[in-house]
Amino acid sequence: MSLHGGRIWERDDPRSWLDFSANINPWGPPAFAVEAAREALQWADRYPDGESRALRSALMEATGHDFRGIVVGNGAGDLIRALFASLRPRRFLTVEPTFAEYGDVARSLEIPVVSFRLKAEDAFAFPVDALCGAVGEGDLVLACQPNNPTGRAWALAELESLLAATIARGASLVVDECFFNLTVPHPGSLPKGPWPEGLFLLRAFTKDFSLPGLRVGYLLTSSRGAAIVRAFLQPWPINCVGEAAALACAERGVPFIEACRLRLAEARRRLTEGLAARGFHVFPGAANYLLCRSPLEGESLEKKLAPFRILIRRCHTFPGLDDGFIRLAVRSEEENGRLLAALDGLNLPG
Amino acid sequence: MSLHGGRIWERDDPRSWLDFSANINPWGPPAFAVEAAREALQWADRYPDGESRALRSALMEATGHDFRGIVVGNGAGDLIRALFASLRPRRFLTVEPTFAEYGDVARSLEIPVVSFRLKAEDAFAFPVDALCGAVGEGDLVLACQPNNPTGRAWALAELESLLAATIARGASLVVDECFFNLTVPHPGSLPKGPWPEGLFLLRAFTKDFSLPGLRVGYLLTSSRGAAIVRAFLQPWPINCVGEAAALACAERGVPFIEACRLRLAEARRRLTEGLAARGFHVFPGAANYLLCRSPLEGESLEKKLAPFRILIRRCHTFPGLDDGFIRLAVRSEEENGRLLAALDGLNLPG
């Protein structure tokens, strides 16, 4: 199993940490979502609706997508596994570095992984032509939008090229949009025209509504694609509390997200400036997290920030990155200020 | 996907139904579990501990089982899939009728199913000798304890024979004990001696603590078996609310379960008598549900009970059973009385 962010549970007094390693909206969860979850506890003695009809209806309303093409799962992680296990692609085409879970799942299912290296000297630009040229029949291509950990978003035109190539060759394209609502500027979403067979958009309530503890994600795809993935999931993929919170977010979440995106853009700008002034090179990106080259090795920085109970994400576990790279979530103005103040006390080189 | 009990969500005003189709402890959930779940909502903005260390420690305390041999999943359904997908048995050996999910999962993974028919005229006795004789290397044998929908419990000596045969042949034995705590008299649990490689006990908080809405199950097995199954699950299998409720049940649940088992034994005795007096043949069993031969066809009985907003489980979807068989959960004395009173109004034949 790869290292993931948010590993506070391996620390002493885990809930006291200020966690810059998990990329969660710092202004959530919204009260209406927690209240809906609380009320749903009265139904804990009933099986949830395994088909999640209420939630899928609300998602249909919110997205305009066909009800039959919506699949709900126990967080994006549940759906990533179900995608690979049910589609059983011939090969998995990916870029590196990216979210490690995709490749871990592919390898656990003995699906060959073909990866294209992103380079720091190119600002981690996507090798779209190489990817398009490599796609073959039965392959699965996955684009993390924006990419994790680099923070760079795929241009819509790049995704359109990928989609055209995958459709033309009889392959599948999965776009992981779990950070999508916290991406500024907003990159837009596929497809332009009618929904093509083989396209899957993966979303979650984890990051944008700050509900990683409740585990609800969903796929938008064709009704045929939905039936294939759903058949792999268990009869009751999400619980009553997660469903209620997600339903509230789907029905009432837009103003909350809009307000958070505005604050996030400003908080990101200021955190980026603050880090640059302290010797960090921050790579350009659009996400609610920043990939940085640190003036201190990640291991050393992590140790020095521990007395402040601040947790960062070292990136040496990502292919192509070494321990000079760290990833920092953009948190609230006050929390980012605490990080910058802690860095000021470290006597960083340069 | 097979028909499961508890399909109230396909009905109008689903929460108004008295549901005899799902086999849930009628006296739960305990207040301490719901309270723990409510308190856990404050941690919805943190990733859960993917390794469920607190819950597994409590289960270790409660069961005496090795911490490394405990795997937690998103309800028993999640673990059933993970078992089949990670062990990849050569064949799946089962009895019929039993819980349909096992065979569905095996078939979805293209694992050949070998089934042994249980017969009403033998009171659905288990063909232990035939099963033991058939087991071969790499097979997976599954015993639902007590069996669903027949309600008959495996004698401990029968399970010991099965275990000896599976171990001797290099196969795996899964005992599904999800109804175990509501079984009277208590059948006891494997193994007698040290834990053998290849034995898996499957349990959940769904039925005994009336928490089907929260989705938490677990496996007890060897540390090697646990690693194999865990590698198949996603990084965060259960959510913070389910984990908190399950932790409270594991730490504080024994007096609650003991009290419920006493009440259940009496409620089952009286419901059995009441049904027999109304022309139902109730098969002998030890579970918190009753398999009955009904004086009316299931379809007709279901329709006639609908105006009372009472839901039953027709059994025609189980191999070897026809629509003359129904399954009824044992509910509280008052609820069982409502069912019997409704039956009195139907002018049943015989």
- The pLDDT mean for chain A works out to 94
Say whether A46 and B19 touch across the interface (CB within 8 A): yes
Residue A10 pLDDT greater than 80, yes or no? no
Span A192-208, pLDDT tens digits:
889 999 999 999 998 99
A62-79 pLDDT, tens per residue? Answer: 999 999 999 999 999 999
How close does chain B come to A287, measured CA to CA in Å?
19
**Among candidates A326, A331, A252, A334, which has minimal Cα distance to A24?**
A331
pLDDT, mean of residues A313-331: 96
Residue A150 has pLDDT above 90, yes or no: yes
Q: Nearest by CB to A34, which of B4, B41, B231? A: B41
Nearest-by-Cβ selection for A24 from B45, B101, B242: B45
pLDDT at residue A15 tops 80: no
Indicate whether A313 pLDDT > 80. yes
Contacts with A46 from chain B: Cβ below 8 Å? 6, 8, 15, 19, 22, 212-213
Q: Look at A53 and B15 and tell me if their CB atoms are within 8 Å.
A: no
Q: CA-CA distance, A63 to A220, in Å (whole number)?
A: 9
Any chain A CB within 8 A of the CB of B146? no
The edge-to-edge listing of strands for the beta sheet with A313-314 is: A281-282, A289-293, A325-329, A313-314
Q: What are the helix and strand counts (H, E) for chain A?
A: 11, 13
Chain B CB contacts of A101 under 8 Å are 235
Class of domain A31-252 as given by CATH: alpha beta
* Cβ within 8 Å, pair B4-A50: yes
Quote the minimal CA–CA distance from B75 to chain A in Å. 8
- HEC string of chain B? CCCCCCCHHHCCCHHHCEECCCCCCCCCCCHHHHHHHHHHHHHCCCCCCCCCHHHHHHHHHHHCCCHHHEEEECHHHHHHHHHHHHHCCCCEEEEECCCHHHHHHHHHCCCCEEEEECCHHHCCCCCHHHHHHHCCCCCEEEEECCCCCCCCCCCHHHHHHHHHHHHHHCCEEEEECCCHHHCCCCCCCCCCCCCCCCEEEEEECCCCCCCCCCCCEEEECCHHHHHHHHHHCCCCCCCHHHHHHHHHHHHHCHHHHHHHHHHHHHHHHHHHHHHHHCCCEECCCCCCEEEEECCCCHHHHHHHHHHHCEECEECCCCCCCCCCEEEEECCCHHHHHHHHHHHHCCCCCC
Percent of chain A with pLDDT over 70: 97
Residues of chain B contacting A38 with CB distance shorter than 8 Å: 38, 41
Q: Is some CB atom of chain A closer than 8 A to the CB atom of B334?
A: no
What residue ranges of chain B have pLDDT lower than 50? 1-2
Give the per-residue pLDDT at A249: 97
Confidence grade of residue A1 (pLDDT, cut at 50, 70, 90): very low
B38, B77, B232: residue with CB nearest A234 = B77
CATH code assigned to A8-28+255-344 = 3.90.1150.10
Measure in Å the smallest separation between the Cα of B130 and chain A Cα atoms.
31
Task: Name the residue among B34, B46, B213 with its Cβ closest to that of A48.
Answer: B213
CB contact under 8 A, B215 and A238: yes
Confidence of residue A348 (pLDDT cuts 50, 70, 90): confident
Query: pTM here?
Result: 0.92
Taking CB atoms and an 8 Å limit, are A213 and B241 in contact across chains?
yes
What mean pLDDT comes out for the span A219-240? 96
Q: Are the beta carbons of B101 and A232 separated by less than 8 Å?
A: no
Residue in B with minimal Cα distance to A28: B45
A236 to B41: CB separation less than 8 angstroms, yes or no: no
Q: Contact, A150 vs A144, CB < 8 A?
A: no
* A24 contacts chain B (CB < 8 A): yes
- CB distance A108–B231 less than 8 Å? yes
Determine which of A189-193, A275-279, B133-137 has the lowest per-residue pLDDT on average: A189-193
**Which pLDDT band holds residue A350 (cuts at 50, 70, 90)?**
low
pLDDT by residue (tens digit) across A109-124? 999 999 999 999 999 9
| Closest to A208 in 3D by CA, of A200, A197, A216 | A216
Inter-chain contacts counted by CB atoms under 8 A, chains A and B: 167
Give the pLDDT of residue B2.
46
pLDDT exceeds cutoff 70 at A5: no
Interface of B with A in 27-56 (CB under 8 A): 28-29, 33-34, 37-38, 40-41, 43-51, 53
Q: B24 touching A, CB under 8 A? A: yes
Average pLDDT of span A102-106: 96
Among all residues of chain B, which has the CA nearest to that of A210?
B45
Q: Would the pLDDT of A2 be above 50?
A: no
User: Which position has the higher pLDDT, A188 or A171?
Assistant: A171
ipTM associated with this complex: 0.89
Q: Judged by CB atoms within 8 Å, which residues 74-103 of A form the interface with B?
A: 74-75, 77-78, 80-81, 85, 101
State the nearest Cα–Cα gap between B203 and chain A, in angstroms.
16
The domain segmentation of chain B, as residue ranges, is: 8-28+255-344, 31-252
pLDDT band of residue A6 (cuts 50, 70, 90) is low
Say if residue A7's pLDDT is above 70.
no
pLDDT of residue B3: 52
